[in-house]
Amino acid sequence: MVKNTQNSAFSASNGYSLVELVIAMAIVSITINLAVPSVTKIYHRSQATAMINWLVGTIHYTRHAAVNYGITATLCPSSNASLGCSGEWHNGVIVFLDYNRDARINGKDRVLSSFTPSVINGTLKWRSFKNKKYLQLTEFGYTNYQNGNFVYCTDSKDAKLARQLVINVQGRVRLVNRRNKQGVNVDRRNKPLRC
């Protein structure tokens, strides 16, 4: 009797050879290596967008509070609202009514709100006229002679992902959205943003 080997479970046509598996794994590996930088860049871009949107919201809140209450409102970095202004901008901020405009919570001053960004990585720096560590908006919605800018850098420190938010003397904010020939975001004077 002759055995039929074509129906056997161990025939050569029912599996993959070691060479085929190695080639498949190499293709998958190359595909993943090409995709990871793109996904990382998308992640960092979304972080920058989230931070800028959060910051615009807090500035608008501060401006609205100042106009609504008819008193200067101060926006400053604070990781703990009960301690007043301290720390770094990217760790959180507080908004308070500042009756004597000294940027300290004292006397009749009242904390209105504290905000913590959803983005936990990166740095946010404030640079302003008169080099103050806080931003004050008057009862007319103007800055207290503090026009300036915020610069956000992702934790990757890639200058191509940096963002600058400019605040003019009228208390209005705008995102500087220009790049140089190398693809690096530039400030309002066309100088590359540095992280």
Q: Is residue 22 part of a domain?
A: yes
Residue 82 pLDDT exceeds 70: no
Burial code (b: 16+ CB inside 10 Å, e: under 16) for 79-115 equals eebeebbeeebbbbbbbbbbeeeebebeeebeebebb
Of 27-31, 39-43, 87-91, 92-96, the range with the highest mean pLDDT is 92-96
For residue 35, what pLDDT is reported?
64
Q: Is residue 46 part of a domain?
A: yes
Residue 126 phi/psi, 5-degree rounding, is -110, 130
**CATH number of the domain that 84 lies in?**
3.55.40
Give tens-digit pLDDT for 118-176: 877 889 999 988 888 999 999 999 999 888 999 999 888 888 888 899 999 999 999 88
For residue 7, what pLDDT is reported?
52
Mean pLDDT score across all residues of the chain: 85
pTM score above 0.85: no
Q: Tell me which residue range forms the domain holding 78.
A: 18-146
Query: What Rg, from alpha-carbon coordinates, does the chain have?
Result: 27
Overall domain count for the chain: 1
Q: Is residue 105 part of a domain?
A: yes
For residue 73, what pLDDT is reported?
96
